[in-house]
Amino acid sequence: MHAICNHEQMRKNMFNSVTKVLCTLYMVTLSLLFTACRPKETTSFQYHVDKFYDLEILRYDVPEFDSLSLQQKQLVYCLSEAALWGRDIFYDQNGRYNLRIRRALEALYVQRDKVQCTDQDWTVFEKYLKRVWFSNGIHHHYSEDKFLPEFTQEWFVNACEQAGVTYDPAILPVMFDPEVMTKRMTAQDGVDLVACSAGNYYGEGVTQAEAEAWYAAHKDNSPEPKWIGLNSQLVKNEAGEIEERVYKVGGLYGEALEKIVYWLREALKYAENDAQRAVIEKMIEFNETGDLQTFNEYCIAWVRDLDSRVDYVNGFTETYTDPLGITGTWEAMVNFKDLKATKRTQLISENAQWFEDHSTTDPRYKKEEVKGVSAKVITAAVLAGSCYPSTPIGINLPNANWIRKEYGSKSVTIDNLVHAYNEAAKGNGFNEEFMIDEETRALYEQYGAVCGDLHTDLHECVGHGSGKLLPGVTKDALKEHASTIEEARADLFGLYYLADPKLVELGLLPNGEAFKAGYYQQMMNGAMTQLVRIEPGKDVEEAHMRNRQLIANWVLANVTAEAPEVEIIEREGKHYLRVNDYDGLRRLYGELLAEIQRITSEGDYAAAKEIVEKYAVKVDPELHREILARYEKLHLAPYKGFVNPVYTAVRNADGEITDVKIDFTEGYTEQHLRYSHDYSPLPDVN
């Protein structure tokens, strides 16, 4: 799943990306055909839940859930249960001590009445626990840096003694020593990426060279290759040889996968059609066997299921947090199709071949026939694993290039999450502080949301599905830079076409001026405002943030010297982005798209390394200090995540589900404590 993050998330352009995209206010003047089905505006729905450190917790509405059939509600319920049972897996993948740490913290929290301490001590403890929940471990979900407690090790030890909480002493240096496990995942050049990353994708003592050699020796070079390493951990046996521990029932994470399989079997009872039933059966088989050929068959069946309204992602999918980009993190999302808004994405999908044919890339790198880019707008029902609490707002799956080429892909935009971000961001003062003038702000307020939605759609529907690898080039050719380059490729594809008259012709944009709102936002975010998510003195590490900075910095470095198309100017001691020539900016996007596609198609690792390190990693310290100071005055949280609604099955005397109720009142702390109590099957050490 290629994920997009929001913008004040501004994800994906997050906010994730501010975990792939631009987020904004929605334009209601488009025709009904292309207007997303939004939750009804009401003052009774409370989007804001909690706020701490640089994080804000929101809740999202699930419009039209009540209009689903009973069978669809039953299916959503069972798939949601399957999603929640995988929570522990993601914690453990993020670090081998995370479950031990989380459980010790939670045990202390529930015994808090026994602890004698100041209110300040307890406040910082509670904030640390909330942060661990948000990041699914002790490393920041976006920067990858370990965050240290504000309470001391001595306080923690004494508090546990008072509360009668036992813990593994091995967690103490992991929690408190700033030199131990400093990065969840590092992309730093010149270091052993495996040894210097705290993620639990490789056993202790495994080096980058050993892992790469193992993968090279086991690579599947067939025309329909299996994704070797997707669902396994590489470890050393007693003889010091590298071997796999496969994620499957009876294998690594088997206790959780067994629960997931149980609920997938329950979901089979309520499948909407035979195609959906085949998808669920293949996922069950994959979880039970760990067989990667079965996973390929699952992906193909999933892509072909176009008629079901309810859909899901559940399993080992994205590879962003494996330093070698091989092993998938566990994630899940249950959703159903927004029937009205999907007409917009379907129109883009229907024209996918036109977009492919008219891009700026070399004809050698274009697909002769774009197959099966099915696109829809969805309503998220439950988020889990690496989709929770911080989540993408767009998805394009499967990730295997050969399946995309032969069978196509599914692309989705998650409309109710974008709506929640937008509702929560209203009137926060961000645009007034960072946009250059009132004219630009007015343009953005009028067209920003539609540009954000369309860029997400183009990124997912046609960007990730565009282009092809040359014969002999494999998906792992770009190594640690693969994710950054891929996200840049999809973003640039969307940006180039956002300004194309074709979008006006299709009715997706109201006029030829609207695209400027999206262009300004992308450049401002990539060059300046996404820096609010970076600590002073730190490099940019996360792939989506690197992507956005790469695009913006490359453009600024390649403008026309005499008459720059875009520039950063200083006015009254503050820096602003100014666009002087939007058509010229589009030309630059097209030039960079051509080069990024060439790098991808040829598997040019040296060029990928050079362009990423030159434009995507380093931060101007003076500009960074200024941006942070201006942002601090707004009292905003740069990262946002969600609590899930609570689904309750109503059963008759025979145990049959007769209805499913939905509730939106559960708080952030209450939800995580409940999840840890009800959905935590893994042992401390796996």
Q: Which of 176, 196, 231 is the last residue of a domain?
A: 176
Band (385; pLDDT cuts 50, 70, 90): very high
Q: How far is CA 371 from the centre of its chain?
A: 25
Selected residue with higher pLDDT from 425 and 657: 657
Q: Which of 639, 659, 680 is the last residue of a domain?
A: 639
Band (189; pLDDT cuts 50, 70, 90): confident
User: Which 3 state secondary structure label does DSSP give 154?
Assistant: helix
Q: What is the DSSP letter of 112?
A: G
* Residue 54 covered by a domain: no
- Does residue 374 carry a pLDDT above 90? no
* Residue 211 covered by a domain: no
Q: How far apart are CA 554 and CA 425, in angstroms?
A: 29
478-513 pLDDT, tens digit each:
999 999 999 999 999 999 999 999 999 999 999 999
Measured between alpha carbons, how far is residue 657 from residues 75, 538, 587 in Å?
Answer: 10, 52, 57
554-611 pLDDT, tens digit each:
999 999 999 999 999 999 999 999 999 999 999 999 999 999 999 999 999 999 999 9
Radius of gyration, CA atoms only, the chain? 24
Band (424; pLDDT cuts 50, 70, 90): confident
Q: How far apart are CA 639 and CA 390, in angstroms?
A: 8
Average confidence (pLDDT) over 625-639: 93
Residues in the chain: 686
Same domain, 172 and 35: no
Same domain, 493 and 413: yes
Same domain, 466 and 589: yes
Residues 6 or more apart from 33 whose CB is under 8 A from it?
343, 344, 507
Model-level pTM? 0.79
Band (344; pLDDT cuts 50, 70, 90): confident
Band (52; pLDDT cuts 50, 70, 90): very high
* Residue 524 covered by a domain: yes
Q: How far apart are CA 321 and CA 136, in angstroms?
A: 13
CB 545 within 8 A of CB 530: yes
Band (19; pLDDT cuts 50, 70, 90): very low
Residues 320, 322, 328, 334, CA torsion sign:
negative
pLDDT of residue 289: 98
Same domain, 356 and 471: yes
Q: Which of 176, 193, 226 is the last residue of a domain?
A: 176
Same domain, 419 and 516: yes
- Does residue 39 carry a pLDDT above 70? no
Same domain, 497 and 620: yes
- Does residue 637 carry a pLDDT above 80? yes
Same domain, 366 and 478: yes
* Residue 379 covered by a domain: yes
* Residue 380 covered by a domain: yes
Measured between alpha carbons, how far is residue 375 from residues 28, 86, 89, 609 in Å?
Answer: 21, 27, 29, 32
Query: Could you tell me the maximum CA-CA distance found in the chain, to the nearest angstrom?
Result: 79
Helix spans in 207-321 (H): 208-217, 254-268, 274-289, 292-304
Same domain, 433 and 509: yes
- Does residue 4 carry a pLDDT above 70? no
Burial class (CB in 10 A: 0-12, 13-18, 19+), 216: exposed
| 213: its two tokens | 């050699």
Same domain, 103 and 21: no
| φ and ψ of 243, to 5 deg | -145, 165
Q: What percent of the chain has pLDDT over 90?
A: 82
HSE (CB half, 13 Å, CA atoms) of 124?
Answer: 13
Average confidence (pLDDT) over 4-31: 32
Band (315; pLDDT cuts 50, 70, 90): very high
Q: How many domains does the chain have?
A: 2
554: containing domain: 6-39+342-394+402-639
Burial class (CB in 10 A: 0-12, 13-18, 19+), 432: exposed
Same domain, 30 and 126: no
How far from each other are the two terminal CA atoms of the chain, in whole angstroms?
26
Average confidence (pLDDT) over 31-41: 34
* Residue 164 covered by a domain: yes
Average confidence (pLDDT) over 444-467: 90
* Residue 352 covered by a domain: yes
* Residue 593 covered by a domain: yes
Look at residues 430, 477, 26, 573 and name the one whose alpha carbon lies nearest to residue 216.
Answer: 477
199-243 pLDDT, tens digit each:
999 999 999 999 999 999 999 999 999 999 999 999 999 999 999
pLDDT of residue 372: 59
Same domain, 17 and 151: no
Burial class (CB in 10 A: 0-12, 13-18, 19+), 117: middle
Burial class (CB in 10 A: 0-12, 13-18, 19+), 434: buried
| 299: its two tokens | 């992906």
CB 56 within 8 A of CB 14: no
pLDDT of residue 341: 81
pLDDT of residue 510: 95
- Does residue 465 carry a pLDDT above 90? no
Same domain, 510 and 605: yes
**580 sits in which H/E element:** none
